[in-house]
A and B are shown apart, each in its own frame.
Chain A
Amino acid sequence: MAPLSLTINGKHYSASVDPGTPILWVLRDTLGLTGTKFGCGMALCGACTIHLDGEAVRSCMTPVSEAVGKKITTIEGLSTDRSHPLQKAWMAQEVPQCGYCQSGQIMTAAALLQKKPHPTDEEIDAAMSGNICRCGTYLRIRAAIHQAAKGGAQ
């Protein structure tokens, strides 16, 4: 297998994998970037959400070949010091419980704020309803997105 050239969080990586492998498993198994989570394998839960050229995609069903030549951003690359407004708002609102789905929640929310810097409740619901949280942190997620949109004010 010819190695694939990937740009992840601004860094260059080379991965010798089957080009049909979902990006999720390349990130996790091959490159050791385990912040992106496996939840369903069918793009139904959002735990594996990453950005491809700024667009939120479900990495569990996106073949790694589609990422070649594009910029991949994962939770590890959203900021290096938890300084992204969403990360700060997530901490202020104490959103996570088990925490497993939160990487995907934050990545989906980050893509939303890129497009709509001041989303309404309805816009948040529409954007975030592809992400499941079994701990039920939805109300705090919504509050945290509003807080981040307001530049940190609660």
Chain B
Amino acid sequence: MSRSLLVTRRTMLKTGLAGAPALILGFYLPRNLFSASPTKSPTAKTSAVFSPNAWLRIDSRGGITLLVEPAEIGQGVRTSMPMLLAEELDADWTKIKIQQAPTKPDIYKHLGTGGSSSVRENYLPLRQAGAAARALLITAAAQTWKVEPSACHTADGAVVHSASKRRLTYGTLAEAASKLPAPDPKKISLKQPKDFRFLGKPVHRLDTPSKVDGSAKFGLDVKVPGMLYAVIARCPTFGGKAVKFDDSKAKAVAGVHAVVQINPVPSPANTAGGVAVVADSTWAAIKGRKALQIDWDRGENASENTASMRKQMAELAGKSPLYVARTVGDAASAISKAPKKIEAVYELPFQPHATMEPMNCTAHVEKDRVEIWAPTQSPDWIQGVVAGLVQLNHESVMVHETLSGGGFGRRYQTDYAVEAVQVSKAVGKPVKLLWTREDDMQHDFYRPASYHRLSAGLDHQNKLVGWSRRIMSTSIRQIFAPPEALKNPATVAAQELEGAVDVPYESPNLQVEYSAVKSGVPRAWWRSVACSFNSFAVESFIDELAAEAHLDPLDFRIKLLGGDRQLPNPRDKEDILDTRRLRGVLALAAEKSGWGKSLPQHWGRGIAAQYSFGSYISHVAEVEVKPDHTVQVHRVVTAVDCGSIINPDTIKAQMESAVIFGLTAAMTGEIEVENGAIKNGNFDDFPVVRMKQAPRRHEVYIVSSTEKPGGIGEPGVPPIAPALTNAIYAATGKRLRRLIIRPEDLKQA
């Protein structure tokens, strides 16, 4: 529930919204904690004192400024957030400006952008704030005209007296409205969807103009007076360190000011430490780093490699018992007695985020304060970690959140900011730290590598009678949770199970087991997290079961989904999967794709669907397998049911984005570990999908809905990989169970 209040001058100043007379509203955004950051304790909302954490200002010229929380990482929040406000405020869209919320703990809390949560969390509070402001403005106008508020309406940034057509703009009314008592939130009513002017309509993004003329400012574009530039040489292996180094040649490079060693910082920062070269230009710093001579102690992970990890996972998959994450009935017995038994193993590699803007951060450490400029999804986490590092209170650490050149979960980490702070502190000057592409590729927090053994039994009617699954992966929680907490296997498994324990296909007997595999490679949240690998395993395996049953993969899915059921997620009872909606997107994507119609030889269609982050997505991929065993995706058809629609063009854009992002992880690029280090370095040995490999056509169909809004940044990713491999199966009869797909696997399969 949103509450608004009139604020004290002191509080107002802190928001940065103070100035000439204006209506300023503080309101409260409840935070459904993104489970990704274990250092955050669940928020206690027990305080009786109302503490607003979001702000809105309307000035005397009618200008509207909204402090927005979510980071703009490409997903369009700097447009969707003001749309929510403008709808209920009846604002003049051209008068709205947004300002990034500051990291001031007593003003604005829980900054963080992840879990496809921005619209889901702000949908009602921002609308309620808009409605509250509108109510105040109407009251102010009614008092001016000495009429009843009910005799007035609003239109395009003005209050109108309906009978006389007298009109006062919001700017004119702002000061009078600011003197009124805050409206009772219980009495604020919201618009009906039929009356929406913005929501559900394609609105041009507010940030687009600045992104076609080079004026948009990203993290790497920050410049502060007296700033130096730095790059860091990190040990190629994880957990290694510099034993000694010779910096004489580096210091001889023109422009190099200093060479400083920095220590690794443990979890949650998880930095590698290393040797930083600080110079008066980026180029001098890069040249200086090349001239360093460093002896590395390669550390305890120096023998790790991809092949040994795959072997380890295969061995674990055959061991009993593993941690049982979910069990219903007796899956083993049901499968053993079933007339048809199927088993398959799927494997997925580490994936980097490879944002186009590599990690970077500018920091200025002074005696009693720190200022940081970072392209980040998690400014509050940076603030907390840095405050601990430099031993200052949170208020003395200010984080300016810049635009991010891609995020995909990578910018939830604090490592690059912590490094910039260390280097600035060492040289006593503001420092901009750049990660080169190689640094970024080789010191990421990767999507976990995983191995999945699935077995199932079908009865004579091709009904699923048992479903058993073993997941082996490099656990995310092991990177962030304290050793004591990791004694509990449920903690170790906590972030690997989404899309695995909540499978919607009906089976009376079910078992899901998990084991972590040992690895020194850092891993964390990558666009759609565990669903990205669990969906590949489940939606591939369902396709295999359909083939075993000699049934059409679409019909088989619909049959297994059964009647309309509301399935609470076993790990979060409030997260409910509606099988009717999942069936809806499967049917819609199939229909629009021409499912069942003939295709040229060596072409095939594959379908997959996934519920995640509150949204239902189905993709149909139409592919051609060429004589040289390479694959061209000709067309993708997507059906989306994300509940209430905010900006349909943004939904479409996010589906286009998710498909390309997911296809890179399925077709072109994988991270390989060799002698404890990442073998890949740049876009030559980590190829990504380029325009020529992109689907020739991508159609997106959005289901009209008044359900509560779902997420949109991540859920398009999980079903594209299985749609691709299922299409390859349809084209060739060959089943690819290991990503990325390889021409040699198609040749042999």
Interface set of A (CB-CB < 8 Å, partner B): 17-18, 21-22, 25, 28-30, 32-42, 44-45, 47, 74-76, 78-79, 82, 87, 90-91, 94-103, 106, 121, 124-126, 128-142
Contact = CB atoms under 8 A, between A and B. Distances in A.
19 contacts: A28-B221, A29-B229, A33-B214, A35-B215, A37-B405, A44-B684, A76-B214, A82-B212, A94-B649, A99-B405, A131-B690, A131-B691, A132-B683, A133-B660, A135-B406, A136-B661, A138-B691, A139-B694, A141-B691
Contact of A25 (B76, B210, B282): B282
Given A21-B283, A42-B682, A44-B683, A94 B357 contact: no
Interface in B339-373: 354-358
Contacts of B437: 39-42, 45
B205 interface: yes
B621 to A, nearest CB: 15
B653 A35 contact: no
A97 to B, nearest CB: 4
Given A45-B356, A91-B204, A137-B657, A76 B213 contact: yes
Given A37-B357, A38-B220, A142-B691, A106 B282 contact: no
Contacts of A28: 221, 282
B682 A136 contact: no
B404 A98 contact: yes
Contacts of A45: 356, 437, 683
B283 A18 contact: yes
B371 to A, nearest CB: 19
A32 to B, nearest CB: 7
A124 B618 CA distance: 29
Contact of A97 (B75, B218, B282, B284): B75
Nearest to A77: B214
Contacts, number: 183
A129 B213 contact: no
Contacts of A35: 213-215
A48 B214 CA distance: 11
B688 A99 contact: no
A99 B213 contact: no
Contacts of B215: 35, 76
Given A41-B436, A97-B75, A21 B281 contact: yes
Interface of B: 72-76, 204-205, 207-218, 220-221, 223, 229, 254-255, 281-284, 286, 354-358, 403-408, 434, 436-437, 649, 653, 656-661, 664, 682-684, 688-692, 694-698
B214 to A, nearest CB: 2
Nearest to A32: B223
A38 B207 CA distance: 20
B287 to A, nearest CB: 9
Contacts of B691: 124-125, 128-129, 131, 138, 141-142
A33 B215 CA distance: 9
Nearest to A133: B356
Contacts of B221: 28, 34
Contacts of A18: 254-255, 283-284
Contacts of B406: 98, 100, 134-135
Given A18-B283, A98-B404, A135-B657, 13 more contacts: A21-B283, A29-B281, A29-B283, A32-B223, A37-B357, A41-B436, A47-B356, A94-B208, A95-B212, A100-B356, A125-B691, A134-B661, A136-B689
Contacts of B212: 82, 87, 90-91, 95-96, 102, 106
Nearest to B286: A41
A102 B657 contact: no
B213 A100 contact: no
A131 B691 CA distance: 8
A101 B281 contact: no
A82 B404 CA distance: 22
Contacts of A134: 354-356, 406, 408, 661, 664, 688
Contacts of A39: 356-358, 437
Contacts of A101: 356, 405
A99 B211 contact: yes
Residue among B204, B221, B407, B691 with max Cβ neighbours from chain A (10 Å): B691
Contacts of B407: 98
Contact of A36 (B214, B403, B408): B214
A90 B659 CA distance: 21
Contacts of A94: 204-205, 208, 649, 653
A6 to B, nearest CB: 16
A132 to B, nearest CB: 6
